[in-house]
Amino acid sequence: MATKIKYTRKDLKGPDEFISILGRASLWMKENRSTVLGVLAVLVLALGGIFGTRAYYRWQETKAARELWPQLTRARELLQAPSSAGGEDLLRLEQSLGTYVTQHPGTRGEVFAKYYLGSIAYVRSDYERSAEQFRSAIEGRKEEGSIMDFLLRDGLAQALEAKGDAENAQKAYGEAAAFANGELRSQAWMSQARMLAIQGRKEEAAAVFRKILAENPKTPLKDLIEVKLSHMG
């Protein structure tokens, strides 16, 4: 005997409600076709605007970087010639880099420009301004683990050391070491230990020297480090 299947009002109503809702939505879209198309057009334009804006800014940054590169090359050449420290060429270059920083904030080029501005100020013995430029570049840059992360902190440390701020200099050398490997890291640690020793913190300095030997036992600095450790008792 066949079993009769009983359907409740709810069972029969459910699919009809779904179909009814879908049908009403389709009918509304047909009746308001121009509105729907308008909304879709706005969404497409908005998305296009977002991605288009990003592409434009990338293009602008690339263009600015190309304009900056010759200046950086010139800055490197001038900084390698000590006699140019007070020269007009270096002054004009400093002004040009300053203008670039103002016109292109938040770009990679700005970081490179500030690095050289800090280096120029250091060569001129303006250690306060040098430290400001390096610190500003560090604060405005996302850490990438690149050589520039090291160079900015090492530059800051040297400027702080030159102005007599041994405590902050040793901190900056320590931070620079975190972004370096091999001999670059050993050199940064050597400078940090020197700053600690200047402050009379011999035990901390000795710990840094031993850290260099532990990580890089074949370092060319080995003999010097051992002499320093022997003097520290």
Q: Say if pTM beats, i.e. exceeds, 0.85.
A: no
Q: So what's the pLDDT on residue 119?
A: 92
Helical segments of 81-221, H only: 88-103, 108-123, 127-139, 147-162, 166-177, 182-198, 202-215
Q: Where is mean pLDDT largest: 64-68, 70-74, 169-173?
A: 169-173
For 232, residues 6+ apart whose C-beta sits below 8 A from its C-beta are 197, 202, 205, 206
Flag whether 79 is in a domain.
yes
Q: So what's the pLDDT on residue 64?
A: 59
Give 82's DSSP letter. Answer: G
With a cut of 90, say whether residue 44 has pLDDT above it: no
Q: So what's the pLDDT on residue 84?
A: 58
Flag whether 181 is in a domain.
no
How many domains is the chain partitioned into structurally? 1
Flag whether 62 is in a domain.
yes
Q: Is the dihedral of CA 179, 182, 186, 188 positive or negative?
A: negative
What kind and span of H or E run contains 39? helix 33-79
Would you say 221 and 212 are in contact if contact means Cβ atoms under 8 Å apart? yes
- Of 121-135, 140-154, 159-173, the one with minimum mean pLDDT is 140-154
Flag whether 179 is in a domain.
no
CA dist., res. 37 & res. 34, Å (int): 5
Would you say 175 and 153 are in contact if contact means Cβ atoms under 8 Å apart? yes
Q: So what's the pLDDT on residue 77?
A: 79
For 128-153, what is the mean pLDDT?
90
Flag whether 97 is in a domain.
yes
Q: So what's the pLDDT on residue 202?
A: 95
For 100-108, what is the mean pLDDT?
87
For 219-228, what is the mean pLDDT?
94
Amino acid at 130: S
Flag whether 228 is in a domain.
no
Flag whether 135 is in a domain.
yes
For 107, residues 6+ apart whose C-beta sits below 8 A from its C-beta are 61, 64, 65
For 106-133, what is the mean pLDDT?
92
* Residue 145: band (very low, low, confident or very high) from pLDDT cuts 50, 70, 90: confident
Higher-confidence residue of 229 and 57: namely 229
Sort 186 into a burial class: Cβ within 10 Å, 0-12 / 13-18 / 19+. buried
Flag whether 61 is in a domain.
yes
Residue written as tokens 């020297």?
209
The parent domain of residue 98 ranges over 57-142
Model pLDDT for residues 181-217, shown as the tens digit of each residue: 999 999 999 999 999 999 999 999 999 999 999 999 9
Residue written as tokens 């390698």?
80
